[in-house]
């Protein structure tokens, strides 16, 4: 199932775009949506980035909603505060949860 972002919603970049001097986390507004056939990624035109008169085209996988970005950043801040041994424990637990998730998705 494709995730579709709403027009005029704010999104954050999930990766650096050095050719445009933009970095992961930069925020912009969706001004156009380009639906693609099944199996291909939708595209979006973004404006903002504190750069007037610039529109940038990106693939759906290059952006996430601001609320999701903020939540991920909060989790990363907490993760960085853990000791190395706690991070390893957390990584093992996440692997366990992902394996359980995959098993449940296969049986559905």
Q: What does the pLDDT look like over 38-94, one tens digit per residue?
A: 889 999 999 988 777 789 999 999 999 999 999 999 999 999 999 999 999 999 999
Question: How many whole angstroms separate alpha carbon 53 and alpha carbon 47?
Answer: 8
Question: How many whole angstroms separate alpha carbon 26 and alpha carbon 51?
Answer: 11
* Tally of domains within the chain: 1
List Cβ neighbours of 16 (8 Å cut-off, separation of 6 or more).
22, 23, 24
Q: What is the CATH number of the domain that holds 41?
A: 2.30.30.30
User: Closest Cα partner for 11 from 31, 36, 35, 28?
Assistant: 28
Which residue do the tokens 């494709």 mark? Answer: 2
* Residue 74 lies in domain: 1-108
Q: What are the pLDDT digits (tens) for 5-27?
A: 999 999 999 999 998 889 999 99
Read off the pTM: 0.74
């Amino acid at each position: 199932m494709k995730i579709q972002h709403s027009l005029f919603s704010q999104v954050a970049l999930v990766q650096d775009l050095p050719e445009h001097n933009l970095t992961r986390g930069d925020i912009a507004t969706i001004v156009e949506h380009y639906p693609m056939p099944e199996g291909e990624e939708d595209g979006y035109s973004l404006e903002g980035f504190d750069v007037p008169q610039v529109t940038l085209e990106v693939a759906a996988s290059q952006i996430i909603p601001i609320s999701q970005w903020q939540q991920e950043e909060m989790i990363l801040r907490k993760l960085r505060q853990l000791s190395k041994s706690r991070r390893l424990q957390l990584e093992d637990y996440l692997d366990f949860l992902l394996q359980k998730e995959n098993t449940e998705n296969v049986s559905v």
